[in-house]
Chain A
Amino acid sequence: MSQYKIIFTGPVGAGKTTAINSISDVPPIKTDASASDMTKSKKQATTVAMDYGVINLTNGEKIHLYGTPGQERFDFMWDILVNGGIGLILLLDNTRADPFQDLKFFLNSFDKFITESSVAIGVTQMDVSATPSIEDYHVQLKVLGINPPVFSVDARVKDDVSVLLQSLLYSLDPGLEEMK
């Protein structure tokens, strides 16, 4: 049976582990460890290999959800992870000093994969920091020449993550049928 996967990426603390946890049908496998570098200022534990979750489809197929490690020193894994992926979910933390820099960094890092598939962007922590606004992100993206979905997301809320994933799939094909 084919292996299908959706990749979650973004900087440290953006909510990748939490988002996978919210949407996965099985308890996610985490590879967190105590943070020992600059990450420590953001959170106690960070993902050092990758997160993994699964969406089970009715015919027995599985969609594998992989979260990239947030720390850039693990970025050698990213190419391996995205190979054969359906699309990319990029989560950005709005309380970071320069979320636009994160945006550009990750879009650039996954440029080839995004061109071949699609990307949907979730901005987390907007209830803590309302700026930059979603509109501000669209202005930045316009300069970069892409127009993907950008939503305010609470990674703990399943519906938020579900809507973000749906937008990724509709971006790939607006003709997909909804449940009737």
Chain B
Amino acid sequence: MVNPNTPLKVALHAMDSRSVKTMIMYLQGPCKNTAMVVDETSAEVDIFDADTFNAKKLLNDYLAKPRLRPVIILSLQDLDLKDVILVKKPVKAQQMIDALAQARNSLIQMQSPSMAAGGKIATESTEESPGSKASPLKKYAINLDERKKTAKHQAAMQLSEGAFNAYIGNIPGVDVNDPKQFSKAGYRPKDYFQGFIHTAINTSREIRQVMEVCVGWRQLILFPRSNEVWLDADDKQLRAFAGLKFEDYQNSTPAVVPINPDLAELSQTPERFHSFDAFVWKLACWTSKGRYPDTIDIDQPVYLKHWPNFTRLLITPHAMRIAALLVREPRTMKDAADVLDIKPQYVFAFISAASALGLVGQAKRESDRLVQPSELKSSPQKSLLGRIISKLRGSHV
């Protein structure tokens, strides 16, 4: 519940880092520490600057979703918006203090039992856990903790062909590189942890609620606002778990439940935070083991909607070549492997990961199948570019 003696926890939106720093000092000084800036996941109130770049879109998106807590909007204009606390610029300290007091009252009302009925998620998201006393302002202010999330910000690992089988794995008894066995080289993501995580992340994003994924394994928490996963396991453990079919280990029904985690405790292990994308990507690689997802028709051309953010993803062998090829025009996975003169397993693994992030499209018209993809023209500087690549790759691995 809201403690009237502690500063109100606020999250700032549509503000650049300089505005955030100014706001932090403003709340500390002129506003007499009535509020402190925190991470979105632990905030009690949202504050928007409606006059900055992209603010309109962010605000519209925010207001279109179920409201979990009071919102204060700072604006030069008289905005006609319902159920918001408007503070007109130039903002005066007393105005801001009054707005925060109003937000605190609204929050208490939102947390009252009558309001909570039928709205369990909203209540849970704003309840303080017993051990989470208000942290000192500096801990949250500049968010230095963000830089300690080493897994989230670490540079990409580029796998060589030799490292592929050892790191990604393979499926015994199936030669995924043999065109005669392509029909056996597919897999169903829904049969694995990958499929369940995909659904859980979508749910968490949709209702903007911190959720815990319960599958009878390690604790896994989803933070939809910051697009982060916290997992109580290392990559080696996740890799092993990713390859298991649900039916092989599942004793109870998997579930995704709202949770109000102790952020102070989680921040003790910042290395266990991953971005959604990097987590889903590597999970798909490890589930695929060189196979393709059955959501992709192997006989139809595929294309890449845009390049994946490779600097923060596991780069499987030839992944950047495949991306460069498929972002140009659709090709079947087999054709991509032939054109690049690589084993199909590398294309399959890449397509699995890119597909898990929603980056793969498939041309499904009959005419797309009939039109031959264009011949890949070599750059006149191919030899030179290849030498630069070798140098860059050599300095990496």
Contact = CB atoms under 8 A, between A and B. Distances in A.
Interface of A: 4, 55-59, 61, 63, 86, 95-98, 100, 122, 127-132, 134, 138, 141-142, 147-154, 157-160, 162-167, 169-180
Contact of B53 (A98, A147, A162, A179): A98
A132 B387 contact: no
A170 B323 contact: yes
Nearest 7 interchain pairs by C-beta: A159-B155, A174-B324, A173-B379, A170-B324, A174-B325, A149-B307, A151-B311
Given A162-B392, A167-B320, 18 more contacts: A58-B387, A122-B311, A132-B54, A147-B307, A150-B307, A159-B396, A166-B392, A170-B323, A170-B389, A172-B385, A173-B378, A174-B322, A174-B328, A174-B376, A175-B382, A178-B389, A179-B394, A180-B161
Nearest to B19: A97
A175 B387 contact: no
Contacts of A163: 155-156, 158, 310-311, 315, 320
B318 interface: yes
Nearest to B328: A174
Given A98-B53, A169-B385, A176 B315 contact: no
A152 B315 CA distance: 14
B378 to A, nearest CB: 6
Interface in B380-397: 381-382, 384-397
Given A127-B147, A163-B158, A178-B317, A152 B309 contact: yes
Nearest to A134: B309
Considering residues B147, B311, B327, B384, which has the most beta carbons from chain A within 10 angstroms of its beta carbon?
B311
A145 to B, nearest CB: 13
Report which residue of A63, A86, A165, A178 has the largest number of chain B beta carbons within 10 angstroms of its beta carbon.
A178
A176 B386 contact: yes
6 contacts: A56-B391, A154-B155, A163-B315, A173-B379, A176-B389, A177-B386
B160 interface: yes
B306 interface: yes
A154 B311 CA distance: 9
B233 interface: no
A130 B302 CA distance: 30
Contacts, number: 148
A129 B16 contact: yes
Given A147-B327, A176-B321, A55 B147 contact: no
B339 interface: yes
B242 to A, nearest CB: 24
Contacts of B393: 166, 178-179
Contacts of B53: 97-98, 100
Contact of B311 (A138, A153, A170, A171): A153
A160 B311 contact: yes
Contacts of A128: 17, 146
Name the residue in B227, B340, B389 with the highest tally of chain A Cβ atoms < 10 Å from its Cβ.
B389
Most chain B CB within a 10 A radius of its CB, from A63, A132, A149, A180: A149
Given A97-B53, A170-B320, A63 B388 contact: yes
Q: Considering residues B146, B317, B379, which has the most beta carbons from chain A within 10 angstroms of its beta carbon? A: B379
A169 B387 CA distance: 11
Contacts of A59: 387
B312 interface: yes
Contacts of B88: none
Contacts of B327: 147
Contact of B160 (A4, A150, A175, A179): A179
A63 to B, nearest CB: 6
B153 interface: yes
A55 B323 contact: no
A129 B392 CA distance: 29
Interface string B345-384: 0000000000000000000000000000000101101101
Given A147-B327, A163-B311, A178-B321, A172 B387 contact: no
B349 to A, nearest CB: 15
Contact of B155 (A97, A129, A150, A160): A160
Contacts of B318: 178
Contacts of B305: 138
